[in-house]
Structure 1
């Protein structure tokens, strides 16, 4: 766990739960195939931020209170497994050689082993919750939505889209996973919209953090700019037709990419204001749908601060 997240986890009072989560993940790895165990150890010992399990724990405590039970720890472990499955694939797609300061799985072990490991992770995740029809339905729906979202985001590269389009993409890409977090915790739909909003907030803070040159929350600023991915700052910058024309080119030059980047930097205040509104909406959802929203309000504040470091 990185130092920033560890401080947040400690402030929210979830260090014991996070230790239980890590123990479960590494017990699974220890019992996994000897062929893939080195890849799994490499992937899961990479300084994860664990924001998704943290959201599960926060939603559970806000609605139900008390100690986090073992079945919720298990759900959080499987969610983290599904998240890492997507990271392995994203890194291959983005041609990313590093994540969190160390070589990505495919850079270390090769594309074929990494792809096989991603499938292994997902399969074992489903096996781990095989006795829980509720979790199986949620994870199946999540994997389908993530696949559709990734294809849509790739298809919509270099298109003259806007902030509403970004909200749709962010809501399905990252938002769907945080929606799942909320529903795993509460076992109903009460906090699904809260989950979607905090996922969009996380996604947008990642976009802004990349443009600012901060340590990424999981995305890749240079790759997104190169590939014409619609980030929040890009959606605002391309409201200028000249910048939009450059953004939509198949292969913009280095100088043109620099112009787009400068235009994105100029629109950062507007991006931050948009994130403030999403954070406000998330807090409202927490307040009207839980009896004790304090932990979720703090979680929104911590998430919002990630792009301001």
Structure 2
């Protein structure tokens, strides 16, 4: 795992649960066939943030006050598998050669093998939860929402949209993943809204970190700028009609892209204020809907801090 999230995991008291999760993933990877195992080792056995499993364990503790159960660890493993499927597909779509300084799966093994590996991972995830209709239902809904979110984000690129539009997109993209984490943890909808807010906050921190050149979240700032994706800083920057005109062009020139990038850097203070509002909303929701909110409040604070690390 990365040093940043390792510190967060230790601070929140979930090192043992994350250790069980990683051990389960390693055992699964090593049990796969010779054609798939090298790709799965490359994708899963490298350092990982494990922020989504951490959210599952935190939400479970916030409601029950209890440590992670074997069933919960299995749910977290499956969610981490589906998250990696989304990363593989995103990297192919964005034509990203690296992620956090390491070659992406399709860059290392080829696009067709990477696509086949993503299908294999989905099938294995469903096999793991074959006896749990609750988890199957949540995972199916998540994959549906992620597919729609990706299409929506692509359809709305280079459009003169604003912060509310960004929140809608981020809520269906990263927000849906964290909503699923919360519902897997509690096995009800009590923390669904909290999960959505936390995921939107995480998405926004990723956007801000990209503009700052931070590597901690592993996002794709250059690709987003190139493709006209509506990030949080972009939604603020394009209020300027001249920036908006360049942003909405089918193929902005290198000079125009540089100007947009500068405008996004100038938008960072307002983007930070929006992140603060999201963090406040998430913290309020945690206090209202959980019996042991301290762990969730700490998780929100750590998430908010990722934009600065």
The two structures share one fold, judged by TM-score above 0.5: yes
TM-score grouping bracket, smaller chain normalisation: over 0.9
Question: Which residue does 2:186 correspond to in 1?
Answer: 186
Q: Which runs of 5+ in 1 are unaligned?
A: none
Q: CA deviation at 1:285?
A: 0.4
2:235 and 2:95 map into 1 onto residues whose CA distance is 23
Distance 2:144 2:51 in 1: 21
Q: Distance in 1 between matches of 2:122 and 2:33?
A: 14
Deviations for 1:34-54, whole angstroms, at most 9, x for unmatched residues?
211000000012311010000
Mapped contact 1:210–1:216 kept (Cα < 8 A):
no
Aligned counterparts, 1:136-285, within 5 A: 136-285=136-285
Decide which moves more: 69-78 or 38-47. Answer: 38-47
Gaps of 5+ in 2: none
1:60 paired to 2:60: yes
Q: Describe the superposition over 1:174-230 as per-residue Cα deviations: whole angstroms up to 9, x where unpaired.
A: 000000000000000000000000000000000000001111513200000000000
Name the CA distance, whole Å, in 2 between partners of 1:117 and 1:10.
32
Deviation, 1:32, is 1.4
**Root mean square deviation of aligned Cα:** 0.6
CA distance in 2, matches of 1:181, 1:295: 15
Provide the TM-score with structure 1 as the length reference: 0.99
The equivalent residue for 1:28 is 28
Shift of 1:66: 1.7
Aligned to 2:133: 133
Runs of 4+ that moved beyond 3 A = none
Q: CA deviation at 1:169?
A: 0.2
Q: Does 1:9 align with 2:16?
A: no
Size of the alignment, in residue pairs?
309
Question: In structure 2, the residue corresponding to 1:301 is in which secondary structure?
Answer: helix
Structure 1 residue matching 2:308: 3-state secondary structure: coil
Deviation at 1:7, TM superposition (A): 0.4
CA distance in 2, matches of 1:257, 1:167: 23
Q: Give yes or no for contact 1:175–1:200 (8 Å, CA) kept in 2.
A: yes
CA contact (8 A) 2:26 2:45 kept: no
Q: Could you report, residue by residue, the CA deviation over 1:93-137 in whole angstroms, capped at 9, with x for unpaired residues? A: 101000121100001000000000001001100110000000000
Measured in 2, the distance between the counterparts of 1:268 and 1:237 equals: 9
Query: What's the secondary structure of 1:130's corresponding residue?
Result: coil
